[in-house]
């Protein structure tokens, strides 16, 4: 099974930059997107060209605020059930989580809140981290979980080009990194890093400033995590830095499940 995750930074904008071509070329069984900034039906998204013999089922969770945040999943496999949010009102108005319940696993597509400039939202982010960790751990007690999305955190120094100069910037604070460590210690594995423990310059997000992406001055903030007991079923975890259309690139997972 091939899964893809991509923060598209506005799906309507990404559609104008080749999203459907990339979708077709990648050919995933399940394709998760974050930061859709739209509601279902606000743009024509014809996925039939990707796999003409198989229909993609669409699931959306849009923010209450128009043009903000939001997640969606396009999947060939029909889930047993679909859940939006994490069932906590404080966290469920920005369209940040979709969970698909499959027979063998849960898939959680997440767009983690950014702590923002001057860490204006760091306190909220800490509450979110605790609530989200509790949510995925509760799922994991029933069956294995795959988590994908933009976690808005470069976990280790190896995951960011300029570690020292970013120590108090959103996405690389010790508080955010500690929360991610706690999530992993709760029974989850970072599949890309597990398979590529020493790989440097492997990034998924770059600033739009001129030359930054070309020089690969980036951050790895997009992930596939999963229950530890799934690790032996993972055959590949990868990054697609040559796919454009957003300030993020897609990340992928191949797993026998």
Residue tagged active-site, from 56, 59, 106, 111: 111
111 belongs to the catalytic site? yes
| Token duo for residue 210 | 């001129």
Active site residue 150: yes
Catalytic residue among 140, 150, 159, 190: 150
Tokens (6 digits) for 17: 């930059």
Quote the tokens at residue 229. Answer: 């007991």
CA angle 55, 60, 66 (to 5 degrees): 140
Residue 100 CA, distance from chain mean position = 14
Beta-carbon contacts of residue 211 (< 8 Å; ≥ 6 apart): none
Q: Supply 189's token pair.
A: 């594995």
Tell me whether strands 205-206 and 106-111 are parallel, antiparallel or unpaired. unpaired
The candidate with the shortest Cα–Cα distance to 31, out of 72, 74, 79, is 74
DSSP 38-73: S-TTSS----TTT-TTSPPEEEEE--SSTTS--EEE
Structure tokens at 157: 């120094």
Token output for 5: 């995750």
Q: Cα(134)–Cα(176) distance, rounded to whole angstroms?
A: 16
Helix, strand, coil shares of the chain, percent, nearest 5, are 25, 25, 45
Give the residue numbers annotated as catalytic, written as ranges: 111, 150
């Amino acid at each position: 099974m091939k899964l893809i995750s991509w923060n598209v930074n506005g799906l309507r904008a990404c559609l104008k930059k080749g999203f459907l071509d990339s979708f077709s070329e990648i050919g995933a069984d399940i394709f998760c997107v974050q930061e859709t900034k739209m509601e279902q039906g606000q743009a024509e998204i014809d996925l039939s060209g990707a796999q003409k013999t198989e229909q993609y089922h669409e699931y959306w969770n849009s923010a209450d605020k128009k043009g903000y945040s939001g997640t969606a999943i396009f999947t060939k496999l029909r889930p047993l059930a679909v859940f939006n949010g994490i069932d906590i009102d404080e966290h469920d108005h920005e369209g940040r989580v979709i969970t698909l319940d499959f027979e063998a696993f849960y898939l959680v597509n997440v767009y983690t809140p950014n702590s923002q400039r001057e860490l204006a939202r760091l306190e909220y982010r800490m509450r979110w981290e605790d609530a989200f960790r509790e949510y995925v751990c509760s799922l994991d007690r029933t069956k294995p979980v795959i988590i994908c999305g933009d976690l808005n955190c470069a976990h280790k120094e190896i995951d960011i080009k300029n570690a020292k100069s970013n120590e108090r910037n959103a996405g690389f604070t010790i508080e955010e990194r500690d929360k991610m460590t706690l999530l992993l210690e709760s029974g989850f594995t970072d599949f890309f890093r597990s398979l590529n423990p020493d790989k440097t310059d492997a990034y998924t997000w770059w600033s739009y400033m001129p030359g930054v992406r070309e020089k690969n001055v980036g951050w790895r903030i997009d992930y596939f995590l999963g229950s530890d007991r799934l690790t032996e079923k993972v055959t590949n975890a990868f990054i697609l830095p040559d796919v454009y259309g957003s300030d993020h690139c897609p990340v992928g997972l191949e797993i026998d499940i």
